[in-house]
Each structure stands twice: as C-alpha cells, then as structure tokens.
Amino acid sequence: MVAFLVFGAMIGYLVFRAVNTNFEMVEKDYYKKELRYQTVIDGNNLANTLASPIQITETTDEIIVQIPGDIDSNRISGNIIFYCAYDKTKDRTFEIQLDSNGKQNFSKSIINPGNYTVKIDWLFNGKNYYSEKSLTVH
C-alpha cells in the first residue's frame, strides 16, 4: 500500500511540474521569419563583401557597434536587435542612429547582463544587409 501511495505522489508531483513549466517559443512569429530567411542569407552575403566586418566591443559602461567605413552613416537605416535566446524579457530593439564615425553606443544600464545574439539588419543604397554577432554582456 505504501508503494502505491509513493508512486501516486510521485506521479502527482511530475504532473504538477509539467503543468507549471514555462515553454517559451524562441520567437512568436517564427514561421513568417522562416519564410523570409532567404533575405537574411542574401543580406549576410552582402555584409560579407564589405571592406571590414561589423565590430561590437564592450567597455565597462557601454557597448559600441561599429559599421564599416565604406558605408555612409548618413544614408543607412535599419535596426540593431539584442536577442537573448533564453529570456525574451532581455530582448532590446534599437533603430540605427550612427554618429559621423559610423558608431552607435549603448549604455549597459539598458542592456542586462547575459548572452546575446546581436542582429543588425540595415538598408543602404537600396540593398538589404544583415549581420549577426555573439555578445556576452558582463
């Protein structure tokens, strides 16, 4: 009888844990983004043809995104996305607003510590460019 009670309690606990587990999807509209993935591949190929790759550096109080010098920072538009795969509350999206040197600074006070994939999607001279970089914010 004790064995049946222990077994029943164990099954009840497993059901309780399964019901209360949070299963977040990586992205809500993953199917739509998957259909658009060819534009990501083309944009990544275009970004690889630039004179130098996009640089992302971290200092003690900010994160700096540097666009290559062969891109005119006044004629670029797009987004920089800090994507955290394990916690969607850490995701941040910013519009590209480069200074005259092709840099954009982000204060660490608005980017929480964690592992990010920085996705940079921009339009320049009628062409879509795309680049991804891994970043660990301390």
Q: What does the block give as tokens for 8?
A: 């029943």
The residue-averaged pLDDT of 63-70 equals 91
Q: Is residue 19 part of a domain?
A: no
| 13 pLDDT more than 90 | yes
pLDDT at 25: 66
Q: Is residue 86 part of a domain?
A: yes
Under the banding of pLDDT at 50, 70 and 90, the label for residue 69 is confident
pLDDT at 85: 86
pLDDT tens digits, residue range 91-116?
Answer: 999 999 999 889 999 999 999 999 99
| 31 pLDDT more than 80 | no
- DSSP class of residue 2 equals H
Q: Is residue 3 part of a domain?
A: no
Q: What is the number of structural domains in the chain?
A: 1
Choice among 17-21, 26-30, 127-131 with the minimum mean pLDDT? 26-30
Q: Is residue 56 part of a domain?
A: yes
What is the helix (H) or strand (E) element at residue 37, kind and residue range?
helix 37-48
Q: Is residue 67 part of a domain?
A: yes
pLDDT at 74: 85
User: Residue 66: beta bridge partners?
Assistant: 55, 103
* pTM for this prediction: 0.80
Q: Is residue 7 part of a domain?
A: no
Q: What does the block give as tokens for 21?
A: 């587990």
CATH number of domain containing 90: 2.60.40.10
Euclidean distance between CA atoms 93 and 72, whole angstroms: 22
Of 106 and 24, more confident: 106
Residue 90 domain boundaries:
28-137
Q: Is residue 15 part of a domain?
A: no
